[in-house]
């Protein structure tokens, strides 16, 4: 069950309160078709059931919206199909307000881990109620899915939303725990029960779809596709939709990192942004069309198809301003599609993050920070990389990065040893590669003497790794491991640790506004060590970068990555750090596509403001204008001789040099996105 996606989708949200009158009354077939076609849209996800629990199709299982007088889904669906627009169908899974009120016993009972108190959703607060997948609600949902499948056998997929199972202590979960010998008082047993609920949901709903049509595409959306879930993804999803609204809290770096993992699953995937200034449900909220264009071009550059989120007004009329903006982005996408289908991401480096190992479904911020810091280092340094989990073949990469806190068990250790023997390189940091006994698991020619008592401390890297011009002690915000070299071991120091006079702690122990300065002399401890093909850094460097974002530190990290990789990168460029480069192979066309991307993303609005007693999640990263970027040089390693290099989709030939297995070219100027195609 693998699904090949179209390039230009709209995810048309329609969560509509039962209090709103006149649902769908302005729907007009011709206007609907013209709006979508003019906007170059060729797939629209339409609603059967929303988070409120109301249906927009005729239903004997659920409840049609009380103020809807006809089968709106049927009208929208037929209008789309008549003009060859695909129509996958949306069904809300985890939220259903109608059933929550009818069957309060099907709702999640949430636990406050600190106090042990349980809670259900307060009627005094606006917001959706979470249904429990261990309860009979799942069987009800299955009947809804079956009904939709029978009514719309030619739909282009089933999209199920809010697919996760919180820790829950409802009667159904307690029964599941009792039956399986789990103890509700133990956090690990509660987590097992939640995972059982999720898998029960996945298996029952997917089976319901497959029983009726084994070819029907299906996607279970959890808002994030985390590394480590590959077995579940391949079992239950026909493709991936990477929900990532850059201005809605995800930021501009979330999508590339998700796409770098999605690319390794073998499933087709799309990026899902939104037309909103903030996030879903923002009626009257718009981002600049320039931002939408950049976001869609980024999807192409990272090997994804495109989806733009919108929310339909209850009257059923598509918003003209929204579709003018979408049309600009999708006209651009349509012209570029021939170079973006059936492509494969070229990668020298793989990040194996903690989350891929410690949990099948993690949102633990400390797991994600190591990944985010490492990925941002690679994105800004224009390295070609994948994000992987244990299903990957390590030998496909020149360098593996295990950022900050990746536990290495015996099986992983064996695989890493075999990879190193074959000439692979390893970059470890923080507690990655440190065993439970507090010793290094790899021969690093160094001793580990526990954690430093100081936080922060300071470092001066070796000249080779130093950010140009920064040869003084640089503050390292998080605690290091104390590492000393073993003489004659063949290991090399990567720099020196400097310690502060004391930790800032109380009125008797502080100096100046922040941390205490460094003592003048270096300690015997090293910032890191390199032996043979392994590089180890004593601080959780990627977490530090993810949180603080220090620029000279970023320049140091890029040098470390280049150093740790050993051999030559497949592609290098002089793009600025805000630029992005990816290299995609398109085997069916015998060509390689170099994607160059650039936008000036700026922060506007307060990241976190309290207005009328409510916390506003601002995080307003915006793009207003797309500024041309001049003078981009790229060199790509190529074993095969190139027969031509062109700028696409313009079709303009580009001068290039081919020598010593390298193709070099210069792009005078580009705006937002440029594809450079190497034909073999």
* Residues engaged in binding Zn ion (CB under 5 A): 132, 134, 168, 170, 172-173
Q: In this complex, which beta carbon is closest to Zn ion, that of residue 35 or of residue 134?
A: 134
CB atoms within 10 A of CB 613: 5
Considering the complex, what minimum distance in angstroms separates the CB of residue 173 from Zn ion?
A: 3
Q: In this complex, which beta carbon is closest to Zn ion, that of residue 168 or of residue 526?
A: 168
Q: Extract the tokens encoding 647.
A: 């700028």
Answer yes or no: are the C-beta atoms of 588 and 581 closer than 8 Å. no
Considering the complex, what minimum distance in angstroms separates the CB of residue 108 from Zn ion?
A: 6
The CA distance from 183 to 188, in Å, is 9
Considering the complex, what minimum distance in angstroms separates the CB of residue 603 from Zn ion?
A: 40
Residue 285 phi, psi dihedral angles, 5° rounding: -105, 130
Considering the complex, what minimum distance in angstroms separates the CB of residue 179 from Zn ion?
A: 13
Considering the complex, what minimum distance in angstroms separates the CB of residue 610 from Zn ion?
A: 33
- CA distances for 517 relative to 454, 473, 646, angstroms: 12, 10, 54
Considering the complex, what minimum distance in angstroms separates the CB of residue 164 from Zn ion?
A: 13
- CA distances for 646 relative to 105, 204, 337, 370, 654, angstroms: 62, 50, 16, 38, 5
Considering the complex, what minimum distance in angstroms separates the CB of residue 322 from Zn ion?
A: 38
Q: In this complex, which beta carbon is closest to Zn ion, that of residue 133 or of residue 525?
A: 133
The CA distance from 44 to 64, in Å, is 21
Q: In this complex, which beta carbon is closest to Zn ion, that of residue 198 or of residue 476?
A: 198
Q: In this complex, which beta carbon is closest to Zn ion, that of residue 167 or of residue 654?
A: 167
Helix axes 29-38, 72-82, angle to 10 degrees: 50
Q: In this complex, which beta carbon is closest to Zn ion, that of residue 201 or of residue 255?
A: 201
Q: In this complex, which beta carbon is closest to Zn ion, that of residue 76 or of residue 134?
A: 134
The CA distance from 447 to 491, in Å, is 11
Q: How big is the chain, counted in residues? A: 680
Q: In this complex, which beta carbon is closest to Zn ion, that of residue 170 or of residue 222?
A: 170
The CA-to-CA distance between both ends of the chain, in Å, stands at 33
DSSP state letters, 504-555: --STTS--SSSSPPBPSS--S-BSEEEETTEEEESS-HHHHHHHH--HHHHH
The beta-strand segments (E) located in 244-353 are 269-274, 305-311, 344-345, 349-351
Q: In this complex, which beta carbon is closest to Zn ion, that of residue 134 or of residue 573?
A: 134
Considering the complex, what minimum distance in angstroms separates the CB of residue 221 from Zn ion?
A: 20
Considering the complex, what minimum distance in angstroms separates the CB of residue 63 from Zn ion?
A: 23
Answer yes or no: are the C-beta atoms of 571 and 631 closer than 8 Å. no
Considering the complex, what minimum distance in angstroms separates the CB of residue 134 from Zn ion?
A: 5
Torsion sign across C-alpha atoms 155, 157, 162, 164: positive
Q: In this complex, which beta carbon is closest to Zn ion, that of residue 166 or of residue 649?
A: 166
Considering the complex, what minimum distance in angstroms separates the CB of residue 170 from Zn ion?
A: 3
Residue with tokens 């307690």: 174
Q: In this complex, which beta carbon is closest to Zn ion, that of residue 175 or of residue 414?
A: 175
Secondary structure (3-state) at 454: coil
Considering the complex, what minimum distance in angstroms separates the CB of residue 135 from Zn ion?
A: 6
Q: In this complex, which beta carbon is closest to Zn ion, that of residue 128 or of residue 159?
A: 128
Considering the complex, what minimum distance in angstroms separates the CB of residue 131 from Zn ion?
A: 9
| Virtual torsion, Cα 554, 560, 564, 570, nearest 10 deg | 50
Residue 447 phi, psi dihedral angles, 5° rounding: -105, 145
Q: In this complex, which beta carbon is closest to Zn ion, that of residue 105 or of residue 668?
A: 105
C-alpha atoms less than 13 angstroms from C-alpha of 178 in its C-beta half-sphere? 7
Considering the complex, what minimum distance in angstroms separates the CB of residue 130 from Zn ion?
A: 9
Considering the complex, what minimum distance in angstroms separates the CB of residue 175 from Zn ion?
A: 9
Q: In this complex, which beta carbon is closest to Zn ion, that of residue 58 or of residue 119?
A: 119
Task: Provide the phi-psi class of 80: left if phi over 0, else alpha when psi is between -120 and 50, else beta.
Answer: alpha
The CA distance from 306 to 108, in Å, is 34
Beta bridge partners of 37: none
The CA distance from 668 to 268, in Å, is 33
Q: In this complex, which beta carbon is closest to Zn ion, that of residue 27 or of residue 128?
A: 128
Give the residue from 222, 213, 71, 234 showing the smallest Cα distance to 159.
222
The CA distance from 613 to 368, in Å, is 30
Considering the complex, what minimum distance in angstroms separates the CB of residue 193 from Zn ion?
A: 8
DSSP state letters, 229-271: -HHHHHHH-SSEEEE--IIIII-TTHHHHHHHHHTTT-S-EEE
Secondary structure (3-state) at 495: strand
The CA distance from 150 to 245, in Å, is 33
Residue 394 DSSP label: G
Residue 179 phi, psi dihedral angles, 5° rounding: -65, -35
Q: In this complex, which beta carbon is closest to Zn ion, that of residue 57 or of residue 134?
A: 134
């Amino acid at each position: 069950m693998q699904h090949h996606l179209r390039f230009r989708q709209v995810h048309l949200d329609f969560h509509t309160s039962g209090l709103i009158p006149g649902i769908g009354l302005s729907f007009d077939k011709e206007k609907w078709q013209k709006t979508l076609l003019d906007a170059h849209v060729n797939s629209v996800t339409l609603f059967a059931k929303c988070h409120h629990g109301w249906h927009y199709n005729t239903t004997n299982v659920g409840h049609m919206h009380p103020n809807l007088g006809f089968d709106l889904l049927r009208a929208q669906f037929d209008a789309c199909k008549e003009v060859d627009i695909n129509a996958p169908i949306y069904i809300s899974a985890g939220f259903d307000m109608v059933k929550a009120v009818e069957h309060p016993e099907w709702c999640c009972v949430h636990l406050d881990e600190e106090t042990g108190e349980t809670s259900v959703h307060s009627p005094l607060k606006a917001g959706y109620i979470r249904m429990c997948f261990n309860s009979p609600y799942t069987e009800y949902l299955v009947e809804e899915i079956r009904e939709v499948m029978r009514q719309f056998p030619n739909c282009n997929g089933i999209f199920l939303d809010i697919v996760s199972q919180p820790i829950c202590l409802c009667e159904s979960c307690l029964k599941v725990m009792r039956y399986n010998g789990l103890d509700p008082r133990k956090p690990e047993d509660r987590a097992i029960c939640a995972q059982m609920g999720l898998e029960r949901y996945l298996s029952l709903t997917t089976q319901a779809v497959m029983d009726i049509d084994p070819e029907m595409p299906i996607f279970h959306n959890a808002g994030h596709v985390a590394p480590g879930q590959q077995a579940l993804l391949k079992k239950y999803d026909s493709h991936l939709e990477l929900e990532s609204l850059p201005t809605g809290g995800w930021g501009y770096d979330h999508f590339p990192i998700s796409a770098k993992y999605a690319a390794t699953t073998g499933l087709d995937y799309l990026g899902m942004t939104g037309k909103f200034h903030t996030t879903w449900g923002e009626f009257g909220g718009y981002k600049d069309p320039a931002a939408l264009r950049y976001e869609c071009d980024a999807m192409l550059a990272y090997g994804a198809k495109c989806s733009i989120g919108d929310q339909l007004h209850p009257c059923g009329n598509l918003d003209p301003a929204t579709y003018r903006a979408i049309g600009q982005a999708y006209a651009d996408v349509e012209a570029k599609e021939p170079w973006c289908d059936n492509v494969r991401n070229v990668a020298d480096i793989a990040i194996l993050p903690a989350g891929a190992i410690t949990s099948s479904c993690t949102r633990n911020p400390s797991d994600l920070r190591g990944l985010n810091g490492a990925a941002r280092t690679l994105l800004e340094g224009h390295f070609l990389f994948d994000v992987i989990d244990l299903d990957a073949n390590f030998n496909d990469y020149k360098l593996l990065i295990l950022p900050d806190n990746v536990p290495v068990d015996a099986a992983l250790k064996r695989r890493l040893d075999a990879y190193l023997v074959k000439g692979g390189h390893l970059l470890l940091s923080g507690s990655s590669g440190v065993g439970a006994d507090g010793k290094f698991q790899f021969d690093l020619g160094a001793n580990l003497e526990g954690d430093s008592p100081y936080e922060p401390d300071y470092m001066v890297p070796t000249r080779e790794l130093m950010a140009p011009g920064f040869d003084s002690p640089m503050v390292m915000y998080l605690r290091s491991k104390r590492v000393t070299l073993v003489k004659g071991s063949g290991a090399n120091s990567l720099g020196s640790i400097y310690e502060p006079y004391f930790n800032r702690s109380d009125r008797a122990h502080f100096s100046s506004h922040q941390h205490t300065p460094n003592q003048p002399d270096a300690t015997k401890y090293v910032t890191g060590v390199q032996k043979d093909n392994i590089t180890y850094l004593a601080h959780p460097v990627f977490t530090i970068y993810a949180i603080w974002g220090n620029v000279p530190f970023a320049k140091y990290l890029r040098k470390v990555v280049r150093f740790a990789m050993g051999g030559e990168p497949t592609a290098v460029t002089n793009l600025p750090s805000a630029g992005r480069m990816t290299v995609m192979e398109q085997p069916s066309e015998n060509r390689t596509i170099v994607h160059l991307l650039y936008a000036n993303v700026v922060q506007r609005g307060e990241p976190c403001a309290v207005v009328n007693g409510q916390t506003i999640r601002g995080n307003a990263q915006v793009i207003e204008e797309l500024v041309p970027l001049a003078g981009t040089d790229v060199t790509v390693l190529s074993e095969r001789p190139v027969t031509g290099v062109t700028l696409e989709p313009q079709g303009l030939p580009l001068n290039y040099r081919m020598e010593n297995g390298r193709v070099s070219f210069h792009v005078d100027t580009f705006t937002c996105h440029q594809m450079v195609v190497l034909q073999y």
